[in-house]
C-alpha cells in the first residue's frame, strides 16, 4: 500500500518563504557575537537613516528651487536656531544620560523598575521643556537683534513670525529624542531610525501643496507638523514594546537621581556644544544678505553623511558600551573602542576625498534649479569642501562621546565643549576676515579635528586607568 505524498510546494510558497529564511539567517549571523550585534545594529540604523537623509536632501532640493539663497531662508535659519538649540540641549543630552541608566536599571532590577524610572524622568522632562518654551517665547524679541545684527526691520519681523511657528517643535523633537533612545535600548533600531523621515516629508508636502505661491511660512509649519507626527510614531512603537508613556512626577528615586547626576554635566556640555552652530550662523548673519543660507546649504550634503554615520555609530555602540561598562569589562571595552575607531577611519578617509573631489558637481545636481543659480553653486561647493574635511574626526568624536556617556564621565563633555566653543569663536574671527562665510566652515572643521584628537587621547588613558584599577582590586 503506497503512502500519500505531500504536495510539492508551489512557486508562490517558495517566494513567500525567502524573506523569512533570509531574516532568520541574518538573525543568526547578527547574534553570533557582541561585535556582530553592534555591526548589525549599525547597518540597520545606517540603512534607515540613509533613507531619512535622502528625504532630507529631497526637501532641500524643493526648498532651494523655491527660495534660493536669499533673505527668506536667512530668516528661517535664524528663527530655528533657538528651538534647535533647545532640542539638542534637553533632548539629545538627556538621551545620553538616560540610556546607560535605563539599561543598568533593567539589567539590575528588572523591566518594571526601568519603566518606573522612565516615567519619572519623562514627567520632569516635560515640565522642563514647557518652562524653556515659555522663557524662549518671552526672551526672543530681545535676543533676535543679537543673533541677526545686519537684518532689516522687515527681515526681523519675518524671523519673529517664523520663530513662533517653530517653537512647538521644541517639545515634540526633544521628547522624540528621548523616546528614540528607549526604543534603541529595546533593540528596536529600525523604528527609531525611520521616524525622523516624517519631518522632511511634511515640509515637502507643505511647500509643494502651495505650488509657485509657497511662502517660507510653509516650511516652518511643515517642521512643527512633522515633529508632532514623529512623536506619534515613536509613541505607538513604545506602547507596542510594553512601555508606558504616562509621565509621573513621583519620588526622586536613586535611579532618577543617577540620570540627573549624569544629565547635569551632559547638559552643560550640550549647551556649549550646541552654541557653536548658533555662534556660526549669528556670525554669518554679519556678512550680508544670503550668507546664512549659503552657509547652511554648504552643510547639507556633509550633514547627510554625518547624520547617517552619527546615528548609526552612536545608536549601535552606546547600548554595547553601556553593558560592558556596567559589568566592568574594561579591557574588552578598550579593545572595542580601538577596533571601531580604526574601522571608521578606513571607511571615512576615502569617502572624504571623494566628496571634496566631486563637491561642485554634487551641489549642482542637488541644488541648482529655480532660484538657486551657478554663482550659488560655486560658493556652496567651496564651503562644502572645507566642511567635508571634518568627516573622519566628527564621527570618531561621536564614538568618543558615546564611550564617555557609557563610563559615566559626562563632566568631560562639559570641559571639552567649553574648549570647543572658545576655539570656534577665535577661529571664526580670524578666518572670516580672510575667507568670509567659508572661513566659518574652515573654523568648524579645525575645531572637530582638535576636539576628537584631544578627547580621544584623554578617554583612552582613562580606560587604561580603569583597567589597571580593576586588575589591582
Q: Pick left, alpha or beta for residue 3 (phi over 0 → left; psi -120 to 50 → alpha; otherwise beta).
A: beta
Which residue from 39, 38, 53, 60 is spatially nearest to 308, judged by alpha carbons?
A: 53
Give the pLDDT of residue 202. 93
Q: Is the dihedral of CA 14, 15, 17, 22 positive or negative?
A: positive
- In contact, 452 and 396? CB cutoff 8 Å: yes
The DSSP result for 79-139, as a single string, is HTHHHHHHIIIIIIHHHHHHHHHHHHHHHHH-HHHHHHHHHHHHHHHHHHHHHHHHHHHHH
CA distance 431 to 444: 11
How far apart, in whole angstroms, are the C-alpha atoms of residue 446 and residue 464?
A: 28
Exposure b/e, 293-332, CB count within 10 A at least 16 = b: bbbbbbbbbbbbbbbbbbbbbbbbbbbbbbbbbbeebbee
Cell of 385: 569642501
**Distance from C-alpha of 60 to C-alpha of 367, rounded to nearest angstrom:** 7
Would you give per-residue pLDDT tens digits along the chain (473 residues)?
A: 444 444 555 555 544 444 455 545 545 545 555 555 665 666 666 677 777 878 888 888 888 888 887 788 889 988 998 888 888 777 767 776 777 777 777 777 778 888 888 888 888 888 888 888 999 999 999 989 888 877 888 999 999 999 999 999 988 888 888 888 788 777 777 788 788 899 999 999 998 887 766 788 999 999 999 999 999 999 899 888 888 778 777 667 777 777 777 676 666 656 666 677 778 888 888 887 788 888 888 888 887 777 666 656 656 666 677 777 777 778 888 888 888 888 888 888 998 999 999 999 999 988 888 778 888 899 999 999 999 998 888 888 877 877 777 777 767 777 777 788 889 899 999 998 888 889 999 998 998 888 888 888 888 888 888 778 777 76
Helix (H, G, I), strand (E, B) or coil at 187: coil
Main-chain phi, psi angles of 409, to 5 degrees: -120, 50
- For 391, the grid coordinates are 568627516
Rounded distance, CA 417 to CA 415, Å?
5
The C-alpha atoms of residue 413 and residue 273 are separated, in whole angstroms, by 9
Neighbours of 20 (CB within 10 A): 9
Chain position carrying cell 538657486: 372
- At residue 315, the pLDDT reads 60
What per-residue confidence (pLDDT) applies to 1? 45
Cell of 235: 509613541
Are 396 and 309 in contact, with CB atoms under 8 Å apart? no
Which set of grid coordinates corresponds to residue 17?
518563504
In the numeric block, which cell numbers belong to residue 402? 558615546
Task: Give dist(CA 156, CA 248) in Å, integer.
Answer: 40
Angle between helices 330-357 and 34-67 (to 10 degrees): 30
Instruction: For residue 253, give every residue at least 6 positions away whose Cβ sits within 8 Å of its Cβ, in sequence order, or none.
Output: 116, 117, 120
Question: Which triple of cell numbers denotes residue 58?
Answer: 529631497
Q: Count other Cβ atoms within 10 Å, centred on residue 208.
A: 12
Nearest one of 295, 269, 267 to 397, comparing CA atoms: 269
Closest CA to 46 of 280, 371, 262, 316: 316
Q: Are 44 and 190 in contact (CB under 8 A)?
A: yes
Q: Rg of the chain over CA atoms, in angstroms?
A: 23
C-beta separation of 413 from 451 below 8 A: no
Q: Name 92's Cβ contacts closer than 8 Å, sequence gap at least 6.
A: 177, 270
Q: Could you tell me what percentage of the chain is helix, strand and coil, using 3-state DSSP and rounding each to the nearest 5?
A: 85, 0, 15
Give the SS3 label for residue 183.
Answer: helix
The helix/strand count (H/E) of the chain reads as 19, 0
Where does residue 145 rank: exposed (0-12), middle (13-18), buried (19+ CB within 10 A)? Answer: exposed
Give the position of cell 533570509.
22
Three-state DSSP class for residue 5: coil
How far is residue 135's CA from residue 142's CA, in Å, rounded to a whole number?
Answer: 12
Amino acid at each position: 500500500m503506497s503512502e500519500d505524498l505531500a504536495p510539492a510546494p508551489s512557486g508562490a510558497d517558495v517566494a513567500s518563504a525567502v524573506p523569512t529564511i533570509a531574516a532568520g539567517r541574518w538573525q543568526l549571523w547578527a547574534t553570533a557575537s557582541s561585535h556582530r550585534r553592534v555591526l548589525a545594529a549599525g547597518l540597520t540604523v545606517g540603512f534607515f537613516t540613509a533613507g531619512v537623509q535622502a528625504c532630507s536632501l529631497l526637501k532641500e532640493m524643493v526648498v532651494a528651487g523655491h527660495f534660493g539663497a536669499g533673505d527668506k531662508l536667512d530668516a528661517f535659519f535664524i528663527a530655528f536656531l533657538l528651538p534647535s538649540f533647545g532640542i539638542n540641549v534637553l533632548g539629545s543630552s538627556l538621551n545620553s544620560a538616560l540610556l546607560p541608566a535605563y539599561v543598568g536599571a533593567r539589567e539590575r532590577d528588572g523591566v518594571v523598575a526601568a519603566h518606573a524610572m522612565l516615567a519619572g524622568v519623562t514627567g520632569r522632562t516635560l515640565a522642563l521643556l514647557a518652562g524653556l518654551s515659555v522663557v524662549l517665547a518671552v526672551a526672543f524679541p530681545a535676543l533676535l537683534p543679537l543673533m541677526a545684527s545686519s537684518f532689516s526691520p522687515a527681515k526681523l519681523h519675518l524671523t519673529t513670525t517664523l520663530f513662533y511657528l517653530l517653537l512647538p517643535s521644541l517639545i515634540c523633537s526633544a521628547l522624540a529624542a528621548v523616546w528614540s533612545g528607549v526604543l534603541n535600548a529595546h533593540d528596536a533600531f529600525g523604528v527609531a531610525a525611520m521616524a525622523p523621515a516624517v519631518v522632511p516629508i511634511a515640509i515637502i508636502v507643505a511647500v509643494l501643496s502651495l505650488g509657485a505661491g509657497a511662502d517660507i511660512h510653509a516650511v516652518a509649519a511643515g517642521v512643527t507638523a512633522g515633529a508632532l507626527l514623529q512623536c506619534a510614531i515613536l509613541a505607538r512603537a513604545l506602547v507596542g514594546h510594553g512601555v508606558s508613556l504616562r509621565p509621573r512626577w513621583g519620588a526622586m528615586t536613586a535611579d532618577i537621581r543617577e540620570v540627573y547626576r549624569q544629565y547635569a554635566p551632559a547638559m552643560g556640555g550640550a549647551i556649549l556644544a550646541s552654541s557653536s552652530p548658533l555662534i556660526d550662523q549669528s556670525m554669518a548673519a554679519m556678512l550680508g544678505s544670503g550668507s546664512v543660507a549659503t552657509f547652511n546649504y554648504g552643510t547639507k550634503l556633509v550633514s547627510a553623511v554625518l547624520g547617517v554615520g552619527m546615528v548609526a555609530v552612536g545608536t549601535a555602540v552606546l547600548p554595547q558600551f553601556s553593558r560592558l561598562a556596567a559589568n566592568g569589562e574594561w579591557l574588552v571595552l578598550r579593545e572595542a573602542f580601538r577596533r571601531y575607531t580604526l574601522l571608521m577611519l578606513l571607511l571615512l578617509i576615502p569617502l572624504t576625498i571623494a566628496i571634496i573631489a566631486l563637491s561642485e558637481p554634487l551641489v549642482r545636481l542637488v541644488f541648482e534649479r529655480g532660484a538657486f543659480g551657478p554663482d550659488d553653486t560655486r560658493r556652496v561647493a567651496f564651503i562644502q569642501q572645507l566642511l567635508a574635511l571634518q568627516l573622519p574626526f566628527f564621527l570618531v568624536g561621536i564614538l568618543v562621546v558615546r564611550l564617555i556617556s557609557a563610563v559615566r564621565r559626562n563632566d568631560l563633555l562639559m570641559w571639552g565643549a567649553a574648549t570647543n566653543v572658545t576655539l570656534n569663536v577665535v577661529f571664526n574671527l580670524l578666518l572670516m576676515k580672510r575667507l568670509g562665510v567659508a572661513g566659518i566652515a574652515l573654523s568648524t572643521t579645525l575645531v572637530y579635528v582638535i576636539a576628537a584628537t584631544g578627547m580621544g587621547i584623554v578617554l583612552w588613558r582613562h580606560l587604561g586607568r580603569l583597567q589597571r584599577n580593576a586588575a589591582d582590586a
